[in-house]
Structure 1
Amino acid sequence: MQVYLVGGAVRDTLLGRDIKERDYVVVGATPEQLISQGYQQVGKDFPVFLHPQSKEEYALARTERKQGQGYNGFICDFAPDVTLEQDLIRRDLTVNAIAQAEDGSLIDPFSGQQDLENRLLRHVSDAFSEDPLRILRVARFAARYHYLGFTIAPETKALLIDMVQAGELNTLTAERVWLECEKSLSDGAFSEFLNVLASIGGLHVVSAELEEKWCDELYNTLQARFAYANKLKINDIAVLFSQITLSLSSDEIKTIATSIRLPNEVRDLALFSQIHQTTLSAEKPTSEAIFSSFNQLDLWRRPERFEQVLKVLEVSHQQSVACYESLIKAAAQARAVNPQQFIAQGIKGAEIKTALEQARLEVIKNYFS
């Protein structure tokens, strides 16, 4: 039984990047052998096991055969006689098909190290085209390593375009598309991810509306926003995703939310930010407009939502909104108005709400005309 470190850990070590997780492949073993050594199997039909101490993933060397459509249409064959090279050839990119033996030596049958040096993302074999999810994965890797000068190899880009034109993206579930978006957002290079998809005609998988509007100006605008967010180490997924929806209409945002199944908190922040960006970003907003925004954002029960919207707008402008200090003070003082004071004055029923709203508006008028 031989154990090899594979995939991202090897790749990122060679690139001098921090390693987030380690995955291993085991050659020459059976499930029974691993279980007898204390490994815990993950699932019944998939040969992946958790190490008894580290809980890191150890997968038996396997081959894959395409059967059916989509990224789930594969049959895995795993046996002690499956070789390391057979396992590596099923991987997506050469830079992800490098293995490291326990003595530290590298096994690189597909010249992944050379592609790392040349800053190229190149597919390992023709089997690449059997998995439509790899379209999004390559876009994500291209975005993540864009700052290092990585580009997609011409033959791989041509293959991606062919796959998109063949409708392969249509076989992906909405949840899977969002998961890849979420991973790219966490990488801090979402604008580049979208640009790669646009370059191969596949941006519609995220948003057909965004694909229609995509241009160099929008790309450069989003690049600046994500650079600012990275500088401030802003990693709120909802705040980051809202950067791409500020130029869309509410209906277009709702369409995206449905098509890729946005989590409710991501959808809601995108909508609130789009609706209230004009008022909250204005240099001289009226007190009535601010009060209306406070009410619609439910500042009184959800102050964190208001703060999130301000953060979205800060990232979009790469600086705090013009009236930031006044907004924060007005919000705090308006929230401090207590309905109990009106009840104590003998005010009853619906008149309490009227008095409460008037008092809050008067507070806001102290900061805005």
Structure 2
Amino acid sequence: METYLVGGAVRDELLGLAPGDRDWVVVGATPQQMLDAGFKPVGRDFPVFLHPDTGEEHALARTERKSGRGHRGFVVDADPSVTLEDDLQRRDFTINAIARDAHGDLVDPCGGVDDLRQRVLRHVGPAFAEDPLRVLRAGRFMARFAPLGFTVAPETMLLMRRMAASGELGTLVPERVWQELRKALAAAQPSAFLATLHACGALAAILPEVDALYGVPQRAEYHPEVDTGIHQQLVSDMAAKLAPGDDLVGFAALTHDLGKALTPPHLLPRHIGHENAGLKPLATLCERLRVPLEHRRLAESVCREHLNVHRLAELRDATVLELLERCDALRRPERVARIAIACEADKRGHLGSEDADYPQGPELRRLHAAALAVNARDLAGHEGLSGPQVGEALRKARIAAIGAARTLRARPAGPG
């Protein structure tokens, strides 16, 4: 029985990245031998065990044979005769098919080390086409590794185009699609996920509402990039820069402009009312992928309100309170900071505006704090009020607090 460190742990170590979870492959063992050695079984589809001391995953070396449609349609063989090379050959990309033995020596039958040096994402072999989830994984790896200079090998891109055209992406269960999307949005360069999947035709299969943005023109004086799909890529990258690892902000930024794909051709390149038009495709997307409720609610707020936040200085005090109430910001105060960041990502997600100031963000947070500081206990002189009267008094007090906060900010500083 021999044990090898495999996959992402080896890859990231060779790239000089911070190590994540470590996965191991065990060669020459049976499930019973693993149990006898104290390992705990956790694998449902194939033999995976947790080490009794470290808790790290140890999987028996295995091969897979396609038996049906989708990413679960496989017959797994984890016989003790399966070699390490057999196991590595079934993996998705060459950079994930590298192992390190107990002596520290690398086992690299697929040329992954060379592809790491060349910064190339390349599929291991023809079996790549048997699992449609691997197309999404390619996009997700690009979202993580594009900042390091990685590109997709031409032959891999060609294969992914064929896979997208085959319709197999339609067999993916919503939870797996959401999992890959969520990881991509939390990566350093989500635009690489979008661009990779758009280029191979997969984005139209899994996120048709986002794919529809490509080729839709915008007014060049406001959007030098013109193409709404390119604008979306810039916004997603800016969100990742402003809120690293926050997939809540990432999802809201991704879906804020979906309504622009629905603009009637005779109105282009203007997009009047796109913020409200975007709510319907957003709901369709969320229902199809079973997006968590908190992601959906934040995305709805940003989609509906981003133009209002951009022109925050023009809004009346009462209108500011109404905006906060529509976002449920008085009950969910943590939501405001993320709304502000997503709106800032939109404003700075234009060519030439990457370093632009966005005072609306801190101002929204400041006015929200002023409104939030007022509660029913502070309504001195309103004894005897009940029911709707209390609510109306509270509303007026919050509007007054917003106005006072604005007046305080506008007041010039005194001498000395």
Q: Following the alignment from structure 1 to structure 2, what is the Cα–Cα distance between the partners of residues 229 and 354?
A: 37
Q: 1:300 and 2:336 equivalent?
A: no
RMSD: 2.2
Q: 1:15 to 1:261 in 2, by over 3 A?
A: same
Q: Following the alignment from structure 1 to structure 2, what is the Cα–Cα distance between the partners of residues 150 and 80?
A: 36
With 95-104 and 230-239 compared, the bigger mean Cα shift is at 230-239
**Which digits, 9 at most, give the CA deviation of each residue in 1:256-299, with x for residues without a partner?**
11121111111110100111112222132222321211221233
In the TM superposition, what are the counterparts of 1:267-282 in structure 2 within 5 Å? 267-282=296-311
Q: 1:316 aligns with which of 342, 346, 364?
A: 346
Match of 2:376 in 1: 339
Tell me the CA shift for residue 227 of structure 1.
Answer: 4.6
Verify the 8 A CA contact 2:214 2:230 in the aligned structure 1: no
Match of 1:73 in 2: 73
Q: 1:170 to 1:102 in 2, by over 3 A?
A: same
Letter in 1 for 2:251: F
> Structure 2: where are the runs of 5+ without partners?
216-224, 259-277, 349-355, 408-416
In the TM superposition, what are the counterparts of 1:118-129 in structure 2 within 5 Å? 118-129=118-129
Q: Structure 1 vs Structure 2: percent identity of aligned residues?
A: 42
Match of 2:91 in 1: 91
Tell me the CA shift for residue 111 of structure 1.
Answer: 1.4
Q: Following the alignment from structure 1 to structure 2, what is the Cα–Cα distance between the partners of residues 324 and 126?
A: 49
Q: Secondary structure at the match of 1:246?
A: coil
Q: Following the alignment from structure 2 to structure 1, what is the Cα–Cα distance between the partners of residues 2 and 303?
A: 55
Tell me the CA shift for residue 335 of structure 1.
Answer: 2.5
Tell me the CA shift for residue 230 of structure 1.
Answer: 4.6
Q: 1:328 and 2:375 equivalent?
A: no
Match of 1:251 in 2: 280
With 21-30 and 186-195 compared, the bigger mean Cα shift is at 186-195
Tell me the CA shift for residue 199 of structure 1.
Answer: 0.4
Verify the 8 A CA contact 1:3 1:101 in the aligned structure 2: yes
Q: Following the alignment from structure 1 to structure 2, what is the Cα–Cα distance between the partners of residues 274 and 139?
A: 25
Q: 1:280 to 1:361 in 2, by over 3 A?
A: same
Tell me the CA shift for residue 337 of structure 1.
Answer: 2.7
> Structure 1: where are the runs of 5+ without partners?
none
Q: Following the alignment from structure 2 to structure 1, what is the Cα–Cα distance between the partners of residues 147 and 329?
A: 39
Q: Following the alignment from structure 2 to structure 1, what is the Cα–Cα distance between the partners of residues 387 and 15?
A: 67
Letter in 1 for 2:342: V
Q: Following the alignment from structure 1 to structure 2, what is the Cα–Cα distance between the partners of residues 308 and 134?
A: 31
Q: 1:314 to 1:349 in 2, by over 3 A?
A: same
Q: Secondary structure at the match of 1:266?
A: helix
Q: Following the alignment from structure 1 to structure 2, what is the Cα–Cα distance between the partners of residues 361 and 233?
A: 30
Q: Following the alignment from structure 1 to structure 2, what is the Cα–Cα distance between the partners of residues 350 and 269?
A: 28
In the TM superposition, what are the counterparts of 1:36-185 in structure 2 within 5 Å? 36-43=36-43, 46-185=46-185
Match of 1:261 in 2: 290
Verify the 8 A CA contact 1:285 1:368 in the aligned structure 2: no
**Which digits, 9 at most, give the CA deviation of each residue in 1:168-198, with x for residues without a partner?**
1101011110000111122222111011000
Q: Following the alignment from structure 1 to structure 2, what is the Cα–Cα distance between the partners of residues 137 and 44?
A: 21
Q: 1:345 to 1:279 in 2, by over 3 A?
A: same
Q: 1:289 to 1:57 in 2, by over 3 A?
A: same
Q: 1:111 to 1:194 in 2, by over 3 A?
A: same
Q: Secondary structure at the match of 1:64?
A: strand
With 117-126 and 98-107 compared, the bigger mean Cα shift is at 117-126
Q: 1:243 to 1:171 in 2, by over 3 A?
A: same
Q: Secondary structure at the match of 1:213?
A: coil
Q: Secondary structure at the match of 1:366?
A: helix
With 236-245 and 304-313 compared, the bigger mean Cα shift is at 304-313
Per the normalisation by structure 1, the TM-score is 0.93
Q: 1:303 to 1:73 in 2, by over 3 A?
A: same
Q: How many equivalent pairs are there?
A: 369
**Which digits, 9 at most, give the CA deviation of each residue in 1:211-248, with x for residues without a partner?**
11125644554454455445455322111111111112
Q: Following the alignment from structure 1 to structure 2, what is the Cα–Cα distance between the partners of residues 332 and 87?
A: 56
